[in-house]
Amino acid sequence: MPEQHVVRLGTRRSALATTQSGWVAERLRELGLQVELVEITTQGDVSAAPLTTIGGTGVFASAIREALLDGRVDCAVHSLKDLPSAPEPGLVIAAVPRREDPRDALCARDGLTLGELPAGAVVGTGSPRRAAQIAALGLGVELVPIRGNVDTRLQHVRDGRCDAVVLAMAGLSRLGLRDVVTEALDPVQVLPAAGQGALALECREDHPLREVFARVEDPETRACVEAERGLLARLEAGCTAPVGALAEVVESEDGLELSLRAFVGSADGSDGLRRSLTGSWTDPRDLGHRLADLLLEDGAAELAGVGSGLGSPGGVGQTAHQSTDHPA
């Protein structure tokens, strides 16, 4: 191992970000490293504007990546769904640790499930993906945009502004808040964001500890998220595109395979495509590309965005983005 020094682990300042970064720090300490957290404020943390108006995914990642590139931190922990699917020159995802529960979670008043909410109930979410899929269920609920950290969003239910909010199960689990969940949403109804529930440990390509960081890798999680991110990259999904994806490792007669499901819908939930494919888990990005091609052949671009791009004003050929979901 290279000469020991204190590893500076970059993280956003939110309670969720520092909690999940603390978890990664413990895994690195188990490998014999000394680790300290370095908190970094991102544009997404200081702006209350909808993510679709302030730049989408990059608002959570760019400041941290700048700190990596200029050497202020040695590595960084991201919610993987916050990272653009296009590579960042000079940086590499050194490890993808074991994934938490990738599902979305409903947190509703009076212990209600989604199907039990009355017509006209107000459901808060900052995610076009969640809003489109819930609208498509035809339950007659009113979907309203909300922003903020986990506690801020839950407060909308406590004070009666919303009858329910939708958050990521992974974030609630990491914060010890699973007891506020009234229903874990079945991916058959609401597919999560690509990479949801997974973390990425990112560092510079030439960092001397890169191989050590890689030891917190979970191969099955890596394969799943690579398939999901491959789908996004091929779709060139723009910042407002309602796109969901979930890959799982499954047993087949020929051994382990990847099963990938995806959703692309219109923003108002009036129409949507759901498709799935299985393929080799040793070439996950190819599986994602093939499923994206199938969706595009079936009209995904026209359905989900303006022109020929998925929610991207510039159309196909724009830089691929990840989901616009907040880490929770």
253: Cα separation from own chain's centroid:
31
d(CA 195, CA 224): 8
**317: burial class by Cβ within 10 Å (0-12, 13-18, 19+)?**
exposed
DSSP state of 181: -
Give CA torsion, residues 133, 139, 140, 145, to 10 deg: -30
Count CB-CB contacts under 10 A for residue 294: 15
DSSP characters for 85-143? SSPPTTEEEEE-------SEEEEEGGG--GGGSPTT-EEE-S-HHHHHHHHHTT--PEE
**In degrees rounded to 5, what are phi and psi of residue 264?**
-135, 125
Residue 292: both structure tokens together = 């994206």
Contact present, 12 and 60 (Cβ < 8 Å): yes
The active-site residue out of 74, 82, 163, 325 is: 82
d(CA 165, CA 149): 12
Contact present, 264 and 256 (Cβ < 8 Å): no
Residue 179: active-site member: no
d(CA 240, CA 295): 17
**In degrees rounded to 5, what are phi and psi of residue 36?**
-130, 145
- Residues catalogued as catalytic: 82
